[in-house]
């Protein structure tokens, strides 16, 4: 499946990639709840529990988005062979995940291509 819009869905091998569009430059209380619901629904219905979020367009997110990431990750981890990672993070967003040590929990990739190459390894 391939969709476009604010949250575009792409497939690369066994990996589903969600690309955050320019509409999500700032993830705050006004849009996080809806994004979280969409990501949870997606995580429940993935053909393979392997998900990468390409966040190249996102310059800011707060604790409520991190909470949404945890929920998605927990939903994925109910399935065997689950993988979850983030790609294309802007410096501020990457720093938030590194300072909170979440980069030890979820791999961070420079690009979605690098994430897909790593997650598609057999």
pLDDT tens for 40-82 read: 999 999 989 999 999 999 999 999 999 999 999 999 999 999 9
Structure pTM?
0.93
Report the alpha-carbon distance of residue 64 to residue 28 in Å, rounded.
7
Assign domain 7-119 to its CATH architecture: 2-Layer Sandwich (3.30)
3: nearest Cα among 42, 31, 47, 33: 42
**What integer pLDDT is reported at residue 122 of this predicted model?**
67
């Amino acid at each position: 499946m391939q969709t476009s819009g604010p949250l575009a869905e792409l497939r690369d091998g066994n990996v589903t990639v969600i690309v955050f569009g320019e509409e999500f430059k700032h993830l705050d209380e006004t849009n996080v709840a809806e994004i979280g619901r969409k990501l949870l629904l997606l995580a429940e219905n993935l053909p393979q529990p392997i998900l990468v979020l390409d966040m190249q367009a996102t310059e800011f997110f707060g604790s409520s988005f991190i909470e949404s990431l945890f929920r998605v990750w927990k939903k994925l981890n109910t399935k065997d062979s689950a993988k979850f990672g983030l790609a294309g993070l802007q410096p501020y967003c990457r720093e938030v995940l590194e300072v909170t040590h979440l980069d030890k929990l979820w791999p961070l990739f420079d690009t979605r291509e690098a994430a897909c190459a790593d997650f598609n390894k057999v």
